[in-house]
Structure 1
Amino acid sequence: MEISLNSSSNETTLLADDCWEFIFKIIISDDSCYFKSLSLVSKQFLSITNRLLFSLTISTLTPQPLLPSLFQRFTYLTSLNLTRFHGDLNKLLCQISCFPLNITSLNLSAKFTKSTIPFVGLLSFSKKITTLTSLTYSNIYSIHYTDFIFIADCFPLLEELYLINNLCGSYDNFEVDFSDSFTLYKLRKVRLKRQSINDELLFHLFKNCKHLEEAVILGCDGITDDGIASAISQRPTLKSLSLSDTFGLFSNITTHFIDSLVSLPLTKLILINCCKYSYAGIICLLSKCRQSLQHLNLLNADFLSDQHVVEFSLLLRNLVFINLIGCKMLTESALFALVRNCASLSEIKIEIIWRKSVQNPDSLMGFGVYPQLKSLYFAKSVENPDSLLDFGVYPQLKYLYFANNRWLSDESIIKFASIFHNLQVLDLSNCVRISDEISKLEVLNLSETEVDDETLNVISRNCCGLLQLKLNFCNNITEKGVNRVIENCTQLRKISLQFCDKVHNNVVDSMLNSRPSLRKIIAPHGLDLCDKKKKLFLSQGCILK
């Protein structure tokens, strides 16, 4: 992004603040990394960008004396992210509550501690800031049913509640003594991961949250399939349900469980690692949800065969997304059935085995053109990707992820580029056979590939609009190739050279002078990142790491 200003004619004053604000929103969208450079242009721009910052991350490294200045400057904040703060959350939340903020989203983390809910801080926060509608607490060590009641009392307007434990916390059995007064009457979404909840708590949660539409229950050790079925019976308006069976608790998927699911107007169903059900159960469920279901995730349903996919694809005419990764018996026949029979399908994640009997890939041209397909993901067991290239042209595809696909070659990428004309993001990380020309892009990840200086030279000539480039662990490139990119990619904002052992550290020192558009540089391993150098780069609007 470039804005030309003539300071002698005071052009910045010719437009009112609301006009500039409208312009900034169009140009910058949701990426606030450009605000710093804009704020340095004039006091008018500083004032406008202050109003446009709605989200703030506070980490352990954030100087505490600066917090009052930050909150006084950014008075339009609606979202706070404290997941990188590992100090006293009670103290920090009490400090934040002193400012007249209208925070609607709060994200906390208890990583590296064994604390539970920061009661004092949240209570102080809730008394002063009454606008909270979304609360996320990740890496929480343990939670008790009284914590749910406390959260409900503090934040009665919550619409989203996420309680996530990625650690090995404590799981204690407990007796639940709910009263009818427990309610989050506006709650629409709840996500509980590895929390010590039981059937009774889940039942009351579903019963009392009258507007609940989406529930994610992952690896919770105290619930059963019958408990979920009973809870669902209390909330017939549920539209999305995600389940995983980390602890093997769903030992027998009953008709009670299936009947409870089909009673819902489900648009999204996720059954991850729930290996105890069979095709008979899933086809019974899908046949009854076929009109409403749009999103289906059957990760690791290893009993599925090609014929199974053919059968249920005929039922799910409104399907938009499907994930069949880990269904190890599927071949290309399953893929073809999905694109043929599900006319609305725009994203497929599938792990397939290309059969040796496919002698002539060109014969696949008979399958026709499917312009609705927007995202196609193949796991690394694919043996012959070239046979996919006869499906047609998909100009609407903008994001393509091929990470870890060791079969992918230069020729395949060139063919994909001829089909997907409007690609903006191409992820080729750990695709070790890639070494040559690629398509015009804005974001390119070539980490852990065999690209060399000549490849970077080709990229720099053909990807002049590149905004972000990742070259982590690319051991065949030197500063010569990097300098070509810096010279020719005139809009480059971010470049990552982590563990590029052949790139001399001196190349970083000249980057900003050669490419002023850079806003973030991740330097090669071993560069002396002293505070003086970091401050020098930061003064020019670029973060050096």
Structure 2
Amino acid sequence: MTTVEERFLPEECWECILKRFLNECDDYNRYLQSLSILSKQFLSVTDRFRLSLIISNETIPLLPRLLQRCTNLTSLNLTRFQGDLDRLLCQISCFPLNFTSLNLSNQHTIPAHGLREFSKKITTLTSLTCSNIVSLHNNDLVLISDCFPFLEELDLSNPKNIHGKVNVMFLVLPKLRKVNLSGCYSINDRMLLHLCKNCEFLREIVIPNNLFVNPNGIAFAIRERPGLRSLTFSGTPGRVILVTNFPQHFIDSLVSLKGLTCLELSCLHIPDDLLYSIAMEGLPLKRLVLGHCTGFTSDGIHHLLSKCQCIQHLDLQKATFQDSFVYHKLSLCLGNLVSINLSHSNHLTEITLFTLVGRCPLLNEIYMENTCIGQMVFQLHKYSSLLNFVINPQMKSLHLASNTLLYDNINNIFASMCPNLELVDLSNCVCISKGIVQVLRHCKIMHLNLSSCPKVNLHGMNFEVPKLEVLNLSMTNIDDKTLYVISKNCSGLLQLDLEKCYNITEKGVKQVVKKCTRLKEINLRHCCKVSTDVALWMEMVLSSLSLRKIKTPPHFCPSHRKWKPLLNHGHGCILC
């Protein structure tokens, strides 16, 4: 006779089963929570699959338990934490974990004491991100080198204030492979040369565009690293372009990088000579970014693309030559294209979009924000032969925000041409109304952004949209009837943004929270008709096991004693 225990599989068996299942998922993290709520045994198993942890202030009371349970963590993100970082890092260092990645971005300073203690116990770190630090000092660079001498990736981008002339010559990181120095405006040519000379494994570098760095200096530096695979030298959109020409010495050094697969030269003046030279050498580029650049022509970019046909990611936003005829010609060279950004052009219409979708079989992501899509709507009959037969099953993401001429009939064409669409961004498309329902009917939408679309109407959605997880309806005129439709047909919803939806009430919100059983986050900021009655909110929060964050409407004052039972019920939902 078997015992009760013998009827259950041991955790090792479940771990093998779940590992096999999760390995076949594109984003297995989405499934971990669902599996973990089935049983305590599954919770124990899934904890071992968690590789990353994001710590916020609300996480702190649970942190010791989390670090004990999740023993295979390799990535730690502290960007959302606002408090004593030194103390937090010391606390984390007491657990026997093998972190390889640490993100300290958006903090005021580099936590010196905490990092020293952290590095004494955790010696496996290979990636450190310190982006958007308010105050950066030379001492911080010395500290990083001392604490983590085996770093392979370092991001020091966009410090807010640099105290003294931050000198990367203080960095002694012999195994460094990837470094991001964008926004570090005290970096000069001599420092870049030192970095390239002393980091023999360097493969990727992001160089700041400032008064102290010039193409000749870059040329000397990259000559020291012929194995470089990725070079980024970019300005900032809207700022003065500091580099207006690239001398032959720079061009010669650039094309000597025979293994270069990624080149980003945003917000610069690019001559056709540079593009012709790259084409002549046939560099194996897979990613090319010339966004917000001036100087080059359609002939130059066509010559490059015709010779370098391995390009998968192309960014030509705000290029001065853009028109539909040019992209009809360029599309013939883009057989391997996966992603393209053509935003901010007053000359591109839906014809460009249809041409790319039809002629680039591997294309799965398009950015065409703030263009003239919709301008050719009355001439689409001329392209009926193209539209009737083109289907691109690879297309997953369309970013079409701020296309003020985009109408519903164009959306219907998108839906028929791209049946596997998962993400659609139509924010600020003021003419969108009922047509979006057809997109939801015919596609597999998971993420839909309709923010600032005043005419949007979902009342006709009388069918289930089970895959929709993120829905942004902020600053629209939707009402409780719309929320009822959502609650009935969008059972898989995880995030719902209703900020500044002035026509909704607590009745509609309550219905959504009750019926959308996977909902984790809802934004009700500035929803002035939503009541803040404590009984209503207690019922709403307790009715949802999944709800974790509510951005509250105006007049919400949780400091009053009557809210104490709600705030202390232990459900884990944050009201903010």
Per the alignment, residue 364 of structure 1 pairs with 383
Deviation, 1:369, is 1.0
Tell me by how many angstroms 1:175 deviates.
7.4
Q: Is 1:17 equivalent to 2:14 in the alignment?
A: no
RMSD between aligned alpha carbons? 3.7
Normalised TM-score (structure 1)? 0.82
Tell me what 1:483 maps to. Answer: 510
Per the alignment, residue 234 of structure 1 pairs with 224
TM alignment of 1:456-467, pairs within 5 A: 456-467=483-494
Structure 2 residue matching 1:456: 3-state secondary structure: helix
CA distance in 2, matches of 1:253, 1:500: 53
In structure 1, the residue matched to 2:439 is 416
CA–CA distance in structure 2, aligned partners of residues 70 and 119 of structure 1? 25
> How does the TM-score come out when normalised to structure 2?
0.78
What is the DSSP-based 3-state SS (H/G/I as helix, E as strand, rest coil) of the residue aligned with 2:181?
A: strand
1:61, distance to aligned residue in structure 2 (A): 6.4
Shift of 1:330: 2.9
SS in structure 2 of the partner of residue 101 of structure 1:
coil
Secondary structure, in 3 states, of the residue corresponding to 2:481?
A: helix
Tell me which amino acid in the other structure corresponds to 1:540: H
| Residues 123/21 of structure 1: CA separation in 2 closer, same or farther (3 Å cut) | same
Q: Which runs of 5+ in 2 are unaligned?
A: 271-293
Aligned to 1:254: 247
Q: CA deviation at 1:443?
A: 2.6
**1:172 positional shift:** 5.5
Deviation at residue 454 of structure 1 after TM alignment: 1.4
Alignment of 1:80-479 (within 5 A): 80-109=76-105, 111=107, 113=108, 115=109, 117-141=110-134, 143=136, 148=141, 150-165=143-158, 167=160, 169-170=161-162, 182-185=172-175, 187-195=176-184, 196-217=186-207, 222-246=212-236, 248-264=241-257, 265-275=259-269, 277-280=294-297, 283=301, 286-287=304-305, 290-350=308-368, 351-354=370-373, 359-367=378-386, 368-371=389-392, 372-385=394-407, 386-387=409-410, 389-390=412-413, 392-411=416-435, 413-420=436-443, 422-437=444-459, 438=461, 440=465, 441-479=468-506
Residue 281 of structure 2 aligns with which residue? none
Q: Deviation per CA, 1:301-322, whole angstroms, max 9, x where unpaired?
A: 3454445444443333322111
Distance 2:252 2:329 in 1: 21
Q: Deviations over 1:202-252 (max 9, x none)?
A: 233334434444333455553223333333333333333333213532222
Cα distance 1:109–1:418, how it changes in 2: closer, same or farther (>3 A)?
Answer: closer
For residues 232 and 363 of structure 1, the distance between their equivalents in structure 2, rounded to whole angstroms, comes to 50
Correspondence for 1:5 = none
Q: Which residue of 1 aligns with 2:529?
A: 502
Distance 1:163 1:12 in 2: 54
1:193 & 1:232 partners in 2: Cα distance? Answer: 17
| Moved segments of 4+, more than 6 Å | 9-13
Q: More displaced, 394-403 or 254-263?
A: 254-263
Name the CA distance, whole Å, in 2 between partners of 1:31 and 1:374: 18
1:383-429 CA-partner distances (Å, limit 9, x unpaired):
14424643634232212222222222222x02323442x11221212
In the alignment, the residues of structure 1 paired with residue 502 and residue 16 of structure 2 have an alpha-carbon distance, to the nearest angstrom, of 44
> Per the alignment, do residues 124 and 171 of structure 1 end up closer, same or farther by CA in structure 2, a change over 3 Å counting?
closer
Secondary structure of 1:403 counterpart = coil
Using the alignment, how far apart are the partners of 1:501 and 1:176 within structure 2?
Answer: 51
Letter aligned with residue 296 of structure 2: Y
Task: Give 2:571's aligned residue.
Answer: 540
TM-aligned CA distance change 1:150 to 1:29, over 3 Å: same
Q: 2:48 aligns with which of 47, 51, 62?
A: 51
**CA separation of 1:518/1:165 partners in 2, compared to 1, >3 Å: closer, same or farther?**
same
Give 1:476 shift: 0.8
Cα distance change, pair 324–396 in 1 and its aligned pair in 2 (3 A): same
Q: Matched residues in 1 for 2:228 and 2:566: separation?
A: 50
The aligned amino acid for 2:340 is: I
User: Which has the bigger relative contact order, CA under 8 A and spacing at least 6?
Assistant: 1
Structure 1 counterpart of 2:179, one-letter code:
V
Equivalent position amino acid for 1:55 in 2: S
In structure 2, relative to structure 1, the CA distance for the partners of 1:146 and 1:395 (3 Å cut) is: same
State the number of aligned residues: 524
- AA of the residue aligned to 1:278: G
1:518 counterpart SS class: coil
Closer/same/farther in 2, CA of residues 495 and 274 from structure 1, 3 Å limit? same
Question: What letter is aligned with 1:390?
Answer: I
Identical counterparts, % of pairs = 45
Q: In the TM superposition, what is the alpha-carbon distance from 1:450 to its structure 2 partner?
A: 1.0
| Pair 67,433 (structure 1): closer, same or farther in 2 beyond 3 Å | closer
Residue in 2 that maps onto 1:6? none
- 1: CA distance between counterparts of 2:159 and 2:225? 28
| Kept in 1: contact 2:450–2:474 (CA 8 A) | yes
- C-alpha spacing 1:95/1:308, structure 2 compared with 1 (3 Å): same
User: Hey, what's the Cα distance between the residues in 2 that align with 1:224 and 1:51?
Assistant: 49
| Alpha-carbon distance between aligned partners in 2 of 1:159 and 1:415, rounded to the nearest angstrom | 48
